[in-house]
């Protein structure tokens, strides 16, 4: 006998034709519930999806009913009404599952037993289609899953689908400031209008919640990791509570970033020492106040002792001391603390890639049960390609959550088409070897490798006030893909691209094939024309826009490009083997062994771990210099091919969105050639070798590329 509680939506009949015409400006994202044009298919769905019978008064369950009514009405061309169920058909089943007259025994104990929290069952049986969940969120996710099935024109016959989220906490991290600027934001200003909150609730807040719920995101951090103590002032908490009220019916919890020095800046204390009783009490009182405003507040995200942010190390305390103090404050309310592992000291390290491990591994097992360590996918800083962060698998007693960047700080910012799902997939499927073969990063972050109950994934948002949300239309695919992989980090990236393209653009097979191909190859293309063969952090200083391998004059060495590529007359690359910084020792020996030999390491990581002579022969049959030249040229040529591919499907795309993408591809082609020519011109000064004659030569000399200035780069104040 099962003791679980199950919410149900039973779908039964439909009526009255409606028509909806919308401008195709990208605002609707992948939630385009337009009429299914094939009348036979539409009628087939109607036969299986009549009226919606909704039971229960949970706000999230009510949202599921509204979303189903809205989506099915658009797709099927009939007004689908939500009909209240009789009192004896509560839809809340306990004990022996399947005994309710509402579903005529359709839900068996076996079916019910497969459903976990936030998971759902879609079942077509006995002329009924059932959405069942162990909680209301599960029903909501099941409702959106059903709509996706119809959007993709998949059959409903014999539908029997169980899906459970693999990761418990699936969050967006907004790097949004209270003045509405967005750090690394390439789609306009912040959508959170703190000035008009809490009185004015922008409808976009609801549309934001809808989009996130449709891909299983269940939490959002609405403030920047470079935090501002003002967010904890009572008037700002009232504003945050207004947002939480919008998110709640969509199953989304609100989180805030905590500035570690808030007891001083807001509370008037003389210290923020985490072991000081007065500081501990201040945080407990502040947390109590937050929960009075937001009863389901999720907890804190913290950036401390990194890039000038205050933290416990100022008081000779460690990260565990700081995290545990905050964790103790939120624990009575069920809250959590996400403590970022992106740290590097004020003193210049031997190798910045090693510092997070050096600081966190000794603290394994010393964090409270409601603390997660939030780790970037790689050890430097969201580069176009990085090896996995060595922390994954190195802290078996501590739950680690993934931090991916959705906004393209180092990947073309708001102009380049780069399908990030391929990068995410590469990271998640990498084998750490820490518990034998098959110990993938995905198993680390979903908790299954070490049996952690608490698990999480965070994505740095790319959302702004741009009408299409993300500025670049194809950047919507990154938001979508992040959500799908946070739900299931084992998903295939190509499948995600196809889903997004189908719901966003068209059902034509030729066009879908082209769009999926563009997305699937675009990440590798970007790496080729920006940072091939393991190069990294060679972008322009400060804004990170465009190439800047020559950057050498910054306040600290590890902010420069020359620190990372180490180009000289002998060769190129950062030696992280035993003869260099020995960062390799931080990985499991089996993984380190794969990377230790420059002749055996995958070429994509060659220059990350090795300083290689310019004339060193590679497995491609070329020496390092010639391979570098060919990689840069291939990347630029592939962008030109993407432009041609997009042009080939013009007839299947509405004019407005076709032109949006076309203009951005024009920019990407120009900038890919700029990257190619600028980087090769610079590195050639060290190699002293010619660019192969069969390849296009740089359009300008190195002095020209070094002279370029971009005062209008996002996030940079113009200086004339």
As a whole-number percent, the residues of the chain with pLDDT over 70 amount to 90
Exposed (0-12), middle (13-18) or buried (19+): which is 720, by Cβ within 10 Å? exposed
Give the lowest-confidence range in 74-83, 173-182, 666-675. 74-83
User: Is 498 one of the catalytic residues?
Assistant: no
**Structural domains present in the chain:** 2-163 (3.30.379.10), 169-491 (3.20.20.80), 528-574+611-707 (3.90.1330.10)
Among 406, 415, 385, 383, CA closest to 671: 415
pTM summary value: 0.95
169 SS3 class: strand
Give the pLDDT score at 375. Answer: 98
Among 4, 30, 251, CA closest to 141: 251
* 575-596 per-position pLDDT tens digit: 999 999 999 999 999 999 999 9
Strand partners of residue 176: 182
Distance CA 510, CA 506 (A): 10
Are 407 and 553 contacting, i.e. CB atoms less than 8 angstroms apart? no
Query: Cβ neighbours of residue 625 under 8 Å, at least 6 residues apart?
Result: 614, 615, 683, 687, 689
CB neighbours of residue 221 within 10 Å:
25
Are 102 and 125 contacting, i.e. CB atoms less than 8 angstroms apart? no
Angle in degrees, 0-180, between the axes of helices 136-151 and 59-76, rounded to the nearest 10: 10
455 SS3 class: coil
Distance CA 554, CA 433 (A): 38
The H or E element spanning position 648 is helix 624-648
Q: What is the mean pLDDT of residues 463-484?
A: 98
Rounded to a whole number of angstroms, the distance between the first and last alpha carbons of the chain is 74
Strand partners of residue 93: 6
For 271-310, b/e burial (b = at least 16 CB within 10 A) is ebbbebeebbebbbebbeebbebbeebbbbbbbbbbeebb
Identify the residue with better confidence: 157 or 213: 213
As a whole-number percent, the residues of the chain with pLDDT over 90 amount to 82
Q: Parallel, antiparallel, or unpaired: how do β-strands 78-79 and 15-17 relate?
A: antiparallel
Give the pLDDT score at 107. Answer: 67
Exposed (0-12), middle (13-18) or buried (19+): which is 238, by Cβ within 10 Å? middle
Give the pLDDT score at 95. Answer: 22
Q: How far is CA 82 from CA 9, 65, 176, in A?
A: 10, 7, 38
User: Is 409 one of the catalytic residues?
Assistant: yes
Q: What is the mean pLDDT of residues 98-116?
A: 63
Catalytic residue among 179, 285, 288, 307: 307
Among 285, 449, 292, 306, CA closest to 375: 306
Distance CA 490, CA 424 (A): 10
Catalytic residue among 24, 273, 321, 409: 409
340 SS3 class: strand
255 SS3 class: strand
Which two tokens mark 426? 């590469």
C-alpha torsion angle, residues 670, 675, 681, 683 (rounded to 10): -170
Q: What does the mean pLDDT of the chain come to? A: 91
CB neighbours of residue 349 within 10 Å:
15
In the predicted structure, residue 87 carries a pLDDT above the cut 80: no
Give the pLDDT score at 628. Answer: 99
Are 420 and 523 contacting, i.e. CB atoms less than 8 angstroms apart? yes
Distance CA 443, CA 430 (A): 10
3-state SS of 13-67 is CCEEECCCCCCCCCCCCCCCCCCCCCHHHHHHHHHHCCCEEECCCCHHHHHHHHH
The H or E element spanning position 311 is none
* 541-566 per-position pLDDT tens digit: 989 999 999 999 998 899 999 999 99
Q: How far is CA 500 from CA 462, 515, 679, in A?
A: 17, 10, 34
Give the pLDDT score at 93. Answer: 28
In the predicted structure, residue 716 carries a pLDDT above the cut 70: no
User: Is 285 one of the catalytic residues?
Assistant: no
Exposed (0-12), middle (13-18) or buried (19+): which is 154, by Cβ within 10 Å? exposed
Q: Confidence class of residue 8 from pLDDT cuts 50, 70 and 90? A: low
Among 634, 702, 638, CA closest to 665: 638
Catalytic residue among 111, 118, 381, 446: 381
Distance CA 333, CA 169 (A): 17
Identify the residue with better confidence: 99 or 175: 175
Which two tokens mark 142? 């099941």
Q: What is the mean pLDDT of residues 278-282?
A: 98
Give the pLDDT score at 130. Answer: 79
Which two tokens mark 158? 């014999």
* 16-74 per-position pLDDT tens digit: 334 343 459 999 999 999 999 999 999 999 887 755 555 556 889 889 989 998 999 99
Q: Confidence class of residue 136 from pLDDT cuts 50, 70 and 90? A: confident
Sign of CA dihedral 214, 216, 220, 224: negative
Identify the residue with better confidence: 93 or 399: 399
The H or E element spanning position 613 is strand 612-613
In the predicted structure, residue 133 carries a pLDDT above the cut 90: no
In the predicted structure, residue 511 carries a pLDDT above the cut 60: yes
614 SS3 class: coil
Q: What is the mean pLDDT of residues 412-432?
A: 97
Among all chains, which residue has been given the structure tokens 């993984």? Answer: 591
Q: What is the mean pLDDT of residues 232-254?
A: 98
CB neighbours of residue 386 within 10 Å:
24
Alpha helix ranges (H) inside 248-394: 262-265, 277-293, 319-330, 355-360
CA–CA–CA angle 679, 685, 688 (5° rounding): 120
Give the pLDDT score at 715. Answer: 58
């Amino acid at each position: 006998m099962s003791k679980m509680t199950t919410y149900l939506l039973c779908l039964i009949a439909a009526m009255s034709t409606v028509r909806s015409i919308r401008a195709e400006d990208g605002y609707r994202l992948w939630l385009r519930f337009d009429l299914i044009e094939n009348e036979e298919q539409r009628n087939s769905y109607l036969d299986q999806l009549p009226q919606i019978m909704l039971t229960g008064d949970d706000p999230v369950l009510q949202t599921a009913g509204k979303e189903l009514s809205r989506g099915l009405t658009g797709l099927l061309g009939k007004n689908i009404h939500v009909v209240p169920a009789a009192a004896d058909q509560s839809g809340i089943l306990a004990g022996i599952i399947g005994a309710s007259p509402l579903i005529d025994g359709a839900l068996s104990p076996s079916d019910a037993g497969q459903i976990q929290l936030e998971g759902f069952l879609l079942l077509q049986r006995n002329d009924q289609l059932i959405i069942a969940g162990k909680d209301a969120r599960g029903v909501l996710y099941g409702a959106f899953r059903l709509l996706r099935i119809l959007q993709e024109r998949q059959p409903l016959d014999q539908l029997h689908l169980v899906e459970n989220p693999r990761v418990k906490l699936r969050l967006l991290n907004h790097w949004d400031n209270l003045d509405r600027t967005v750090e690394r934001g390439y789609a306009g200003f912040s959508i959170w209008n703190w000035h008009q909150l809490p009185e004015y609730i922008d409808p976009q807040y609801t549309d934001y919640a809808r989009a996130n719920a449709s891909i299983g995101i269940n939490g959002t951090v609405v403030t920047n990791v470079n935090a501002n103590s003002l967010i904890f002032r009572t008037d700002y908490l009232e504003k945050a509570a207004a947002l939480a009220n919008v998110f709640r019916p969509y199953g989304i919890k609100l989180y805030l970033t905590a500035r570690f020095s808030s007891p001083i800046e807001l509370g008037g204390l003389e210290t923020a020492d985490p072991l000081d009783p007065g500081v501990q009490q201040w945080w407990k009182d502040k947390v109590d106040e937050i929960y009075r405003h937001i009863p389901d507040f999720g907890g804190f995200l913290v950036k401390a002792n990194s890039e000038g942010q205050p933290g416990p190390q100022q008081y000779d305390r460690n990260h565990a001391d700081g995290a545990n103090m905050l964790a103790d404050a939120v624990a009575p309310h069920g809250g959590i603390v996400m403590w970022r592992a992106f740290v590097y000291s004020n003193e210049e390290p031997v190798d910045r890639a090693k510092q997070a491990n050096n600081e966190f591994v000794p603290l394994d097992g010393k964090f409270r049960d409601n603390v997660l360590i939030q780790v970037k996918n790689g050890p430097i800083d969201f580069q176009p390609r990085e090896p996995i962060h060595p922390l994954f698998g190195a802290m078996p007693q501590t739950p680690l959550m993934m931090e991916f960047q959705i906004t393209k700080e180092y990947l073309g910012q708001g102009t380049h088409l780069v399908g990030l799902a391929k990068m995410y997939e590469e990271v998640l499927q990498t084998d750490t070897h820490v518990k034998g073969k098959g110990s993938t990063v995905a198993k680390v972050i979903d908790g299954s490798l070490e049996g952690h109950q608490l698990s999480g994934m965070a994505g740095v948002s790319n959302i702004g006030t741009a009408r299409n949300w993300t500025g670049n239309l194809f950047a919507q695919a990154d938001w979508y893909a992040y959500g799908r992989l946070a739900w299931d980090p084992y998903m295939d990236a190509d499948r995600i691209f196809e889903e997004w393209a189908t719901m966003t653009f068209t059902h034509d097979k030729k066009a879908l094939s082209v769009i999926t191909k563009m997305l699937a190859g675009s990440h590798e293309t970007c790496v080729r024309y920006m940072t091939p063969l393991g190069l990294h952090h060679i972008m322009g200083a400060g804004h990170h826009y465009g190439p800047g391998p020559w950057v050498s004059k910054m306040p600290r060495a590890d902010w420069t490009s020359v620190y990372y590529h180490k180009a000289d007359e002998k060769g190129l690359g950062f030696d992280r083997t035993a003869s260099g910084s020995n960062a390799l020792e931080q990985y499991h020996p089996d993984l380190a062994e794969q990377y230790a030999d420059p002749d055996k390491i995958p070429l994509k990581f060659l220059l990350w771990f090795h300083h290689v002579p310019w004339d060193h022969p590679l497995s491609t049959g070329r020496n390092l210099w010639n391979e570098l030249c060919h990689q840069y040229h291939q990347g630029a040529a592939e962008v030109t091919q993407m432009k041609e591919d997009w042009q080939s499907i013009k007839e299947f795309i509405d004019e407005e969105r076709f032109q949006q993408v076309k203009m951005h591809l024009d920019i990407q082609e120009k900038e890919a050639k700029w990257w190619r020519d600028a980087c090769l011109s610079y590195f050639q000064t060290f190699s002293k070798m010619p660019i192969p004659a069969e390849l296009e030569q740089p359009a300008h000399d190195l002095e020209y590329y070094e002279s370029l200035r971009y005062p209008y780069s996002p996030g940079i104040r113009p200086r004339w």
